[in-house]
């Protein structure tokens, strides 16, 4: 049931052939037993890092984390992390062990790992090495710590968030003792390096079971996601919603996994993260009229500002942050179902982001009362057809695709400066609106006329 691809097999064979012992370990074993395709094959070995370098030759090996016993071996264009069996020393900064001790014992190496499902190794001749019952836990979809959950979480609090992440991605139920220890130790997450926290949050929001798992782990998430508590308590008594902001958010996230409505190729982590955050500013701008009808003046702008602040705080990559913030900012915008509107939106967001926005709006609409939901679905369908039509017209949608560049403007008497960008932009708008052909001559004569 564990099919090791040949480059990884080659790395194992080289190490085993040189008299060391080597296994595939951790995530790849877990994913294989789950019937999923592992995204990378990590290897653990009795060989010390210098010995690994000896086996493969220095030109194939990158000394990625020598101090922790990890090197990267290159084979056939792929990279494999090879880590010496080790026992972790104390964690004084809650980030990584201060020191590690290398070991000759695979079982010791498996003991330092976080969860039973992550603490299995596999060797083609020896089979599965599973000292803590990881295979049974995978069958029972159960996430448990290796050893005492309290001790493991106080060594490294990031494991608390990893538990939430694995639960959200694979649908594992978290064992009750592990869950109890998570709640008790959750505040320690505040001291964990933000980029480590951010990487887990990103994965967890993209998880198949995120909506359920977020609800079950609010106490943990409250420690690391500011403003989450606000939406939990935020009612929205108006005729569009049937639930408070948090319940609505969870329903919208769950909707993004309804295969029959939202085909898999539409789904992506940006839209899903944006769904989680889309109403984060609502509580801040809520007002109430005499009838008890609630309004949100300033949303979704305030939501977008808060999301930007949260994602910066979690040190998310700029590209991810900008995309998610832009989706949140526009999630309530009317995508008016007409060709000119489709052109304008393509120009504003680009095709990729616009498709995400449409997807997000469908999910959001699915979590509104039926009348809203039906109307929005119908309009989105028409809008989407308009987008497809516009895209087959093969006109330009970004400055890069425009048939002229700033250099061409210089040849007709423009001078270097902001005027160039402004002119190109305005030409692009005319092309997108269908007023001008995306051809060099037409563009140049239009540009000449603009001066």
Q: Residues interacting with ligand ATP, by CB under 6 A?
A: 26-27, 42, 113-114, 118-119, 156, 158-159
In whole angstroms, how close is the CB of 52 to Mg ion at the nearest point? 19
Nearer to ligand ATP, 153 or 383 (CB): 153
In whole angstroms, how close is the CB of 9 to ligand ATP at the nearest point? 19
Provide the 3-class DSSP secondary structure of residue 313. Answer: helix
In whole angstroms, how close is the CB of 204 to ligand ATP at the nearest point? 11
| Interface ranges with Mg ion (CB under 5 A) | 27
Provide the 3-class DSSP secondary structure of residue 360. Answer: helix
Residue 250 partner contact from Mg ion, ligand ATP, none using kind-dependent CB cut-offs of 5 to 8 Å: none
In whole angstroms, how close is the CB of 27 to Mg ion at the nearest point? 4
In whole angstroms, how close is the CB of 253 to ligand ATP at the nearest point? 20
Residue 158 partner contact from Mg ion, ligand ATP, none using kind-dependent CB cut-offs of 5 to 8 Å: ligand ATP
CA distance 163 to 179: 9
Indicate the residue whose CB is closest to Mg ion: 27
Residue 113 partner contact from Mg ion, ligand ATP, none using kind-dependent CB cut-offs of 5 to 8 Å: ligand ATP
Nearer to Mg ion, 80 or 296 (CB): 80
Q: Report the candidate in 341, 347, 349 with the shortest Cα–Cα distance to residue 379.
A: 341
Nearer to ligand ATP, 150 or 242 (CB): 150
Residue 65 partner contact from ligand ATP, Mg ion, none using kind-dependent CB cut-offs of 5 to 8 Å: none
Phi-psi region of 227 (alpha: psi -120 to 50; beta: other; left: phi over 0): left
Phi, psi values for residue 304, rounded to 5°: -60, -40
Q: Cα-atom radius of gyration of the chain, to the nearest Å?
A: 27
Structure tokens at 367: 């979590």
Nearer to Mg ion, 33 or 253 (CB): 33
Nearer to ligand ATP, 158 or 365 (CB): 158
In whole angstroms, how close is the CB of 83 to ligand ATP at the nearest point? 8
Q: Is 171 exposed, middle or buried (0-12, 13-18, 19+ CB in 10 A)?
A: middle
Nearer to Mg ion, 27 or 133 (CB): 27
Nearer to ligand ATP, 113 or 356 (CB): 113
CA distance 372 to 365: 7
Which residues touch 17 (CB under 8 Å, ≥6 apart)? none
In whole angstroms, how close is the CB of 181 to ligand ATP at the nearest point? 14
Residue 159 partner contact from ligand ATP, Mg ion, none using kind-dependent CB cut-offs of 5 to 8 Å: ligand ATP
Exposure class string for 110-145: b at 16+ Cβ within 10 A, else e = bbbbbbbbbbbbbbeeeebbbebbbbebbeeebbbb
Indicate the residue whose CB is closest to ligand ATP: 27
Three-point CA angle 323, 328, 333, nearest 5°: 115
Nearer to Mg ion, 27 or 147 (CB): 27
In whole angstroms, how close is the CB of 114 to ligand ATP at the nearest point? 4
The per-residue DSSP string of 212-246 comes to: HHHHHTHHHHHHHSTTHHHHHT----STT-SS-HH
Helix axis angle for 301-313 and 318-330, nearest 10°, is 160
Give the largest CA-CA distance in the chain.
81
Residue 114 partner contact from ligand ATP, Mg ion, none using kind-dependent CB cut-offs of 5 to 8 Å: ligand ATP
């Amino acid at each position: 049931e564990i099919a090791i691809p040949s480059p990884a097999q080659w790395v194992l064979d080289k190490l085993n052939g040189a008299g060391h012992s080597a296994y595939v370990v951790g995530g790849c074993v877990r994913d294989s037993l789950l019937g999923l395709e592992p995204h990378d094959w990590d290897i653990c070995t009795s060989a010390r890092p210098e010995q690994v370098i000896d086996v493969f030759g220095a030109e194939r090996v990158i000394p990625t984390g020598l101090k922790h016993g990890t090197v990267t071996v290159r084979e056939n264009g792929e990279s494999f992390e090879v880590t010496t069996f080790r026992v972790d020393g104390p964690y004084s900064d809650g980030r990584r062990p201060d020191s590690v001790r290398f070991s000759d014992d695979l079982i010791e190496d498996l003991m330092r790992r976080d969860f039973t499902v992550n603490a299995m190794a596999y060797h083609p001749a020896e089979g599965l090495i599973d000292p803590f019952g990881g295979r049974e836990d995978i069958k029972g979809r159960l996430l448990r710590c290796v050893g005492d959950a309290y001790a493991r979480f106080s060594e490294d609090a990031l494991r608390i968030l990893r538990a939430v992440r694995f639960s959200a991605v694979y649908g594992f139920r978290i064992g009750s003792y592990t869950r109890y220890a998570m709640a008790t130790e959750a505040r320690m997450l505040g001291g964990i390096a933000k980029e480590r926290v951010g990487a887990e949050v990103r994965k967890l929001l993209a998880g198949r079971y995120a909506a359920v798992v977020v609800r079950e782990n609010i106490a943990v998430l409250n420690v690391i996601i500011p403003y989450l508590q606000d939406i939990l308590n935020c009612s929205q008594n108006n005729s569009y919603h049937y639930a408070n902001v948090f319940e609505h958010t969870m329903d919208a996230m769950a909707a993004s996994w309804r295969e029959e409505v939202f085909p898999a190729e539409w789904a992506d982590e940006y839209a899903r993260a944006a769904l989680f955050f889309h109403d984060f500013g609502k509580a801040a701008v809520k007002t109430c009229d005499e009838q008890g009808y609630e309004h949100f003046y300033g949303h979704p702008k305030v939501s977008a500002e808060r999301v930007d602040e949260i994602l910066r705080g979690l040190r998310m990559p700029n590209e991810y942050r900008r995309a998610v913030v832009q989706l949140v900012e526009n999630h309530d915008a009317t995508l008016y179902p007409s060709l000119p509107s489709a052109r304008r939106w393509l120009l504003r967001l680009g095709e990729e982001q616009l498709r995400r926005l449409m997807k997000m709006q469908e999910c959001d609409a699915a979590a509104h009362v039926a009348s809203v939901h039906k109307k929005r679905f119908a309009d989105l369908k028409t809008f989407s057809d308009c987008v497809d039509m516009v895209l087959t017209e093969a006109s330009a949608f970004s400055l890069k695709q425009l048939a002229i560049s700033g250099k061409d403007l210089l040849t007709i008497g423009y001078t270097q400066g902001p005027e160039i960008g402004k002119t190109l932009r305005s030409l692009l708008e005319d092309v997108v609106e269908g007023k001008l052909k995306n051809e060099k001559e037409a563009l140049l004569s239009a540009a000449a006329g603009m001066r």
